[in-house]
Amino acid sequence: MRGADIACEQLSLPETRDLNAPFVKRVTTALPWVIAKWAQTVDGRIATRAHDSKWISGDRSRAMVHRERGRVDAILTGIGTVMRDDPLLTCRVGTPRRNAVRVVVDPELTLPLDRQVVRTAREHRTVVTTLPKAFGEKSEHRRALGDLGVGCMKQHSDFRGLLEALRREFDVSNVLIEAGGGLTGALLREGLIDEAWVFVGPRLLADEEAFGPVRGFTTMRIEDGVPMRLLSVHRRGPDALLHYRFGG
C-alpha cells in the first residue's frame, strides 16, 4: 500500500492538553469555549479617547478575524461596541463553516433599529440580552426588533447563565468575544474566558484617556494581575498576534 504522505508530529503532554482543552471543556462542563479577541496599540489601547478604533490592526489580522467568525458558533458583543463601531460581525473572507449567532449584551434594551446587526438579522441570526425590567417595560421596542428578526432574551443574573443558555438553546460550543473593556472585563471577572487573541498594531496612542481592552479590576500589585500563559506569537503583516490561555 502506498504511503498517504501524512506528516506526523509527536506532541508533548502539555501541548496535547492545550490542543484538547476546548473539546474536554465541551464534554465535561455545560459551558462553551470562550475566546476573547481584541486589537490594541503597543501601549495597550483598543480605542482613542474619542472611541476611534478603526483600524488598529491591518488587513491580514482583520482577514484572520473574519475567517474565525466563520468557525465559531456565537459572537458576543456589548451595546457599547455596537453604538460606537456599528460592526457587522460576519465572516466576509472565504466560505464560513458555521453561521454564528450574534449576541448583543444590552442591559437597557437601547439597541437602535438602524444598526448593522439589526438590519442583517434576517440573514444572520441575532439575539439581544436585556435586563428583565427593560424586557418588560420596552415591549414595543422589543417587538420592533423582533419584526426585523432580532430575538430577545432576558439577561441572566451572571454571564455563566448566559453562556449555559447559549449552549443549551443554540448548541453553542465556542464563542468569540468582540467587545470593549466593559463586557470583556465582566466575563473575565467571572473567570469565563479561556483564551485571548491579542493583535498588536504598530502604533502608540500615549494618551491615558484612551480605552484599554479590559476594565473593572482594582489591581495594586503585579502579582494580583490575572495570570495568562503565552501559547504562540505570530507575525500578521505589520502586526503581532499573541495567543494566550487563561488558567492552568
In the DSSP assignment, the letter for residue 135 is H
Which CB sits closer to ligand NAP, 136 or 216? 216
Q: Which three cell numbers stand for residue 116?
A: 448593522
Q: How far is the CB of 163 from ligand NAP (least distance, A)?
A: 13
Which CB sits closer to ligand NAP, 22 or 212? 212
Report the C-alpha gap between 161 and 158 in whole angstroms. Answer: 6
Which CB sits closer to ligand NAP, 32 or 180? 180
* 230: β partners: 244
Which CB sits closer to ligand NAP, 11 or 132? 132
Which CB sits closer to ligand NAP, 21 or 58? 58
Q: How far is the CB of 145 from ligand NAP (least distance, A)?
A: 16
Query: What b/e string do you get for 201-238 counting C-beta neighbours within 10 Å, with b at 16 or more?
Result: beeebeeeebbbbbeeeeeeeeeeeeeeeeeeeeebee
Report the C-alpha gap between 80 and 72 in whole angstroms. Answer: 22
Q: Footprint of ligand NAP on this chain (CB under 6 A)?
A: 38-39, 46-47, 51, 53, 56, 77-81, 84-85, 105, 107, 178-183, 186, 211
Contacts 24+ apart (CB under 8 A), 52-58: 53/84, 53/85, 54/85, 55/201, 56/199, 56/201, 56/203, 57/199, 57/201, 57/236, 57/239, 58/201, 58/236, 58/237, 58/238, 58/239
Which CB sits closer to ligand NAP, 21 or 83? 83
